[in-house]
Amino acid sequence: MELPDDSFTISGIFLFFLLLLPPPAASSCSPSDLARISLAFRFVTGFQLPSPTADCTAITLPSCNLTGAISWTHLRRVSALRTIDLSGNNLLGSIPALFWSAPRLHHVNLADNRLGGSLRFDLSLPASPLKSLNLSGNRFTSAGTGLEAALPHLEVLDLSRNHLGVAPPGMGKLRRLRHLDMSHNDPDGGESAATKARLLRSASHRSHAASRRRHRISTRYRTVIAVVIPVSVVIGLCSVVLILHLIYLCHRLTEKDGKVEERGEGATAAGNGKEGGDADDGVGKDVRRRGGWIFGWKINP
């Protein structure tokens, strides 16, 4: 059965309006995530809970006059959260070690707040996928061990303008770290030239430089060994050959001397009946014959 032409026109118009509709939200806040965000910021003034249609993959509230302490444990449990930017506020308290094991968190910027205490890491928890961490302009005084195990994917780390006397242990083992800033750090909070704080462009660069130095040293050792051992072997073999040759020449010379003496005695016995001049000539020939051998080489008089 044939359809009327009007049906094709209506279908085309319907599809056209479907294409004009906005696409659905890429990631909207689930009720559970909204509840966890509310619990995390319940002691923070100036915070407004996002709408259910908002994107919960990022909480970006820089310089929004937020004041108070965040419940980092509840914030860690927001399943869709990937980015946090709460820089330039007035946030207080410390950050527990549990927070760094957030399963999907990639970027954290908490610069220019009043956070402090010690940076702690729990090695019994799964490693974090965190790639960039900015804690500059706070009041952190120390860092615990386990940074390289808790944050192995870290590429950017900014700990400048804190009260850290020394660099966090294990920082040199962060293989993916491209940028590290620990400038203006001092246990007393000063910024004099005598402080221990310094700007480190890359801990991984230092690690690669040390690896290159070790490679150069090992290459030099291998080169020395590759040259010295064959040369030593050649010199040893040459020495052995020379000694054997000298022994052989001495043996030959001894044999020739014995033969010359035997010939001389035979000539003397045979020449008893002859005149003394003939005997003297035979002996002279033997003497000349004996003197004609030097180290295996015959010299004709």
Which two three-digit tokens encode residue 297?
């080489």
- Alpha-carbon span 234 to 121, nearest angstrom: 60
Q: How much is the pTM?
A: 0.56
Lowest mean pLDDT among 32-46, 89-103, 173-187, 201-215: 201-215
* Range ranked top by mean pLDDT from 5-14, 191-200, 208-217: 208-217
- Alpha-carbon span 238 to 107, nearest angstrom: 69
Q: Within 10 A of 164 (CB to CB), how many other CB atoms are there? A: 23
pLDDT over 50 (residue 101): yes
Which two three-digit tokens encode residue 281?
């000539």
CB 101, CB 124: distance < 8 Å: no
3-class DSSP state for residue 134? strand
Q: In the block, which residue shows the tokens 């007035």? A: 90
What pLDDT is attached to residue 16?
A: 47
Cα Rg of the chain, angstroms: 47
Which two three-digit tokens encode residue 196?
């221990």
* Range ranked top by mean pLDDT from 67-71, 182-186, 226-230: 67-71
CA–centroid distance for 75 within its chain: 34
Give the sheet arrangement for strand 58-60, strand by strand. Answer: 58-60, 83-85, 107-109, 132-134, 156-158, 179-181
What pLDDT is attached to residue 187?
A: 62
Per DSSP bridges, beta strands 90-92 and 132-134 are unpaired
Which two three-digit tokens encode residue 260?
């010359």
The pLDDT of 13-38, averaged and rounded, is 64
CB 110, CB 138: distance < 8 Å: yes
CA max distance for the chain: 157
Lowest mean pLDDT among 21-25, 175-179, 189-193, 262-266: 189-193
Task: Please give the mean pLDDT across all residues of the chain.
Answer: 77
What pLDDT is attached to residue 196?
A: 39
Query: What element of type H or E holds 234?
Result: helix 203-270
Contacts of 137 by beta carbon, 8 Å cutoff, 6+ apart: 111, 112, 113, 160, 161, 162
What pLDDT is attached to residue 255?
A: 74
The pLDDT of 182-188, averaged and rounded, is 78
Which comes out higher in pLDDT, residue 215 or 142? 142
What pLDDT is attached to residue 199?
A: 39
CA–centroid distance for 56 within its chain: 36
